[in-house]
Amino acid sequence: MNHVKKSCLKKYVSRELDVDQQEIIENHLYECERCMDAYFELLENQSISTILSEDFTNQVVTKANKQLPKSNPRQFSPKKAIAHYFLAAGLTVVLMLTGIFQGVLDVSTDHPLENKLSITEQALQQANQLLDHIKGEVNQ
For Zn ion, the binding residues (CB under 5 A) are: 3, 32, 34-35
Nearest by Cα to 85 from 97, 71, 67:
67
Q: Is 101 exposed, middle or buried (0-12, 13-18, 19+ CB in 10 A)?
A: middle
- Least separation in angstroms between residue 41's CB and Zn ion is 13
- Least separation in angstroms between residue 36's CB and Zn ion is 8
Contacts of 52-61 spanning 24+ positions with Cβ under 8 A = 52/82, 57/82, 60/85
- Least separation in angstroms between residue 46's CB and Zn ion is 20
**Which is nearer to Zn ion, 6 or 34 (by Cβ)?**
34
**Which is nearer to Zn ion, 5 or 80 (by Cβ)?**
5
**Which is nearer to Zn ion, 5 or 135 (by Cβ)?**
5
- Least separation in angstroms between residue 83's CB and Zn ion is 35
**Which is nearer to Zn ion, 3 or 135 (by Cβ)?**
3
Please list, in sequence order, all residues whose beta carbon lies within 8 angstroms of the beta carbon of residue 78, skipping any fewer than 6 positions away.
49, 57, 60, 61
